[in-house]
Amino acid sequence: MAIDAFTAPGRFYRGNLHTHSNLSDGVLDAGEVCRRYKAEGYDFISMTEHFIGLFGYPIADTKPYRDNEFTTIPGAELHSGAMENGELWHILAVGLPEDFNPPEAPHFNVVDGMESGPAIARRAREAGAFVTIAHPQWSGMTLNDARSLEAAHAVEVYNHGCAVDDGRPEGFHTAELLLSEGRDVTLIATDDAHFRSNDHFGGWVMVKAEANDPDMLVEALKAGHFYASQGPELHNIEIEGKRLYITCSAVESAFVQGHGSGVVRQHGQAMTRIEMPLARMNESSWFRVTIRDRAGKCAWSNPIRWK
């Protein structure tokens, strides 16, 4: 069984899907943010400003910063309505049209009559965006909140800014509960960079596409043709019978994680070709792969449905 993310035509492009400039609450102007990501070896970013009235509902025009080696995807971090804890929703929308109709969200507080989070997520998806549940651990999101975002394509499972500044970086628990309920969600890692601290160049996606083109990248994201990483590279994952084969950059640990506590693990030195049994996954309709290098950096596959 081949995995589409690795067999799809094209090559992998490195990108950050959650970034802020001084058009909202970031420190640097959009051009300098793009320059730094390009200099760091990224192929693309999405500038996802806070889409509220306080900042003029910005969708950054980053087209001037594109060239033959680097591109940008329009996007925004949407805010509207209250989660169960009373706080404002945070929803990533990558590939959002520049004429997207803003909600009535004047600032970072919840106000009466706001459009709900699920409603604005649905509008964003219908407008063509790749929609992601942002930093659920940082937000204090409940499972009911996550369930209600039926329009979400993905869950932000690692947020580097939340790791650096708040110690609450993860969304794996949320994603796995949704997966075990039958939801088809993918997993992204991001920076959520504001450049106020060392909140950048820590988490990204590797997207398989035929060209480094904004529309092609968004379509590949929607199709799940990507993996998330902090550094290690996943070159291929394939299934033969009840065994899994992983080809990757040198790592010291590999995990196959499924429903509940189901996990298969292997540890070693500089492993680049890993064979793992899947018998422990017999009771799980899905599983995902994590690899970890000697520096403790991880890469994560998208969930694989095999039943």
Find the CATH number of the domain harbouring 277.
Answer: 2.60.40.10
Is there a single domain that holds both residue 163 and residue 297?
no
Is there a single domain that holds both residue 167 and residue 104?
yes
* Residues of the domain holding 238: 234-305
> pLDDT for 193-219, tens place per residue?
999 999 999 999 999 999 999 999 999
Q: Tell me which of 229, 245, 275 is where a domain ends.
A: 229
Is there a single domain that holds both residue 148 and residue 19?
yes
Closest CA to 134 of 158, 100, 164: 158
> pLDDT for 246-281, tens place per residue?
999 999 999 999 999 999 999 999 999 999 999 889
Q: Tell me which of 229, 261, 284 is where a domain ends.
A: 229
Is there a single domain that holds both residue 134 and residue 192?
yes
Closest CA to 48 of 74, 28, 71: 74
When divided into structural domains, the chain yields a total of: 2
> With 80 as the cut, is the pLDDT of residue 307 above it?
no
Is there a single domain that holds both residue 17 and residue 117?
yes
Q: Tell me which of 229, 260, 293 is where a domain ends.
A: 229
Q: What is the CATH number of the domain that holds 146?
A: 3.20.20.140
Is there a single domain that holds both residue 225 and residue 76?
yes
- Spell out the residues 6+ positions from residue 41 whose beta carbon is closer than 8 angstroms to its own: 14
**Residue bearing tokens 């596409």:** 209
As to burial, measured by CB atoms within 10 angstroms (0-12 exposed, 13-18 middle, 19+ buried), residue 100 is buried
Question: Whole-number mean pLDDT of the chain?
Answer: 97
Is there a single domain that holds both residue 96 and residue 238?
no
Is there a single domain that holds both residue 241 and residue 224?
no
Is there a single domain that holds both residue 107 and residue 172?
yes
Closest CA to 259 of 286, 291, 294, 295: 286
Which residues lie across from 19 on neighbouring strands? 47, 193
pLDDT confidence of residue 1: 84
Is there a single domain that holds both residue 122 and residue 34?
yes
Sign of the dihedral through C-alpha 92, 96, 102, 106: positive
Tokens representing 171?
């969304």
Is there a single domain that holds both residue 188 and residue 281?
no
Q: Give the count of beta carbons closer than 10 Å to the beta carbon of residue 222.
A: 18
Closest CA to 96 of 118, 117, 78: 78
Instruction: Please compute Rg for the chain using Cα positions.
Output: 19
> pLDDT for 104-127, tens place per residue?
999 999 999 999 999 999 999 999
Is there a single domain that holds both residue 211 and residue 269?
no
Q: What is the rounded CA–CA span in Å between residue 132 and residue 199? A: 20
